[in-house]
Structure 1
């Protein structure tokens, strides 16, 4: 973790259940937000390569369902159902796996994600805060490679966002 990331993490992680990733993305907030909310764009960057995202269905509204399916190199699929809690166009998205849409509880909640897209000198200060239900869940997510995987995805997100500018 870079020194800047450590400093930002210290400022942003409110609890011992949080993991935080922040990047300065060379694209405006509108493009970065669109990459998170347009399923045709999301499937291009969401899973860390060589994994893929074969499909995504997004109902981007508070209470709306999201279903993002990732696949490993062998084609084994990993569905990720969730629900949006807060939607502030071009600035903030909050979603969770605690619900699967229209307030239907999931079997095992794992985390809530708070994404922010802050304008910074023509670019976007992108922050992903993963707030877990338990410390054990946070530790498991960290061991799964949260920082590496979400970091790779942030670079892929930047590639796609830069391509849709203008």
Structure 2
């Protein structure tokens, strides 16, 4: 059983969500799991949802689009643009849920080298506190935690 836990900070009155998680893998390996489409589909999102990757070009200037599908066939689409992909240090990208058009977040993911282990630190900036609160109310934090657990399984 893992001793690594996902920490999610949702400070009152700010439009931010900060997440961190340590992994027993080198930064280059964790970075690859965030940028290789064949690996992304194995961990991103809740286990109960099927992920259909339409495009995933993880390079500076690239973009992505994917859809999660639940057991009843309901679809949840997501898209964004990679503003900076700097291996193995950082990814800066936008994130937009089709169900909340125009509510684009700017996400920065850092991969901190802990001497053979990696701390993934994510900072998500929402367009408003209200948009952030809606995302949290939708269960986004549970989805983040489950994704990080799945990523740890993949890296293990």
Partner of 2:132: 138
Aligned to 1:57: 55
Alpha-carbon distance in 1 for matches of 2:60, 2:35: 13
After TM superposition, the score normalised by the length of structure 2 is: 0.83
List, as ranges, runs of 4+ consecutive aligned residues in structure 1 with deviation greater than 3 Å: none
Aligned CA-pair RMSD:
2.1
- Structure 2 residue runs of 5 or longer lacking an equivalent are 1-5
List gaps (5 residues or longer) in structure 1. Answer: 99-106
Alpha-carbon shift at residue 124 of structure 1 (Å): 0.8
What is the SS of the residue equivalent to 1:43? helix
Structure with the higher strand share, 1 or 2:
2
- Is 1:27 the counterpart of 2:25? The answer is yes
Structure 1 residues 28 and 56: CA distance shift in structure 2, 3 A: farther
Q: Provide, for residues 116-161 of structure 1, a one-character-per-residue CA deviation record: whole Å limited to 9, x for no partner.
A: 1111132110112211011111101111122221011011011112
Equivalent residue for 2:109, pick from 115, 118, 125: 115
1:46–1:52 Cα contact (<8 Å) kept: no
Structure-2 residue corresponding to 1:36: 34
Is 2:36–2:58's contact at 8 Å kept on the other side of the alignment?
Answer: no
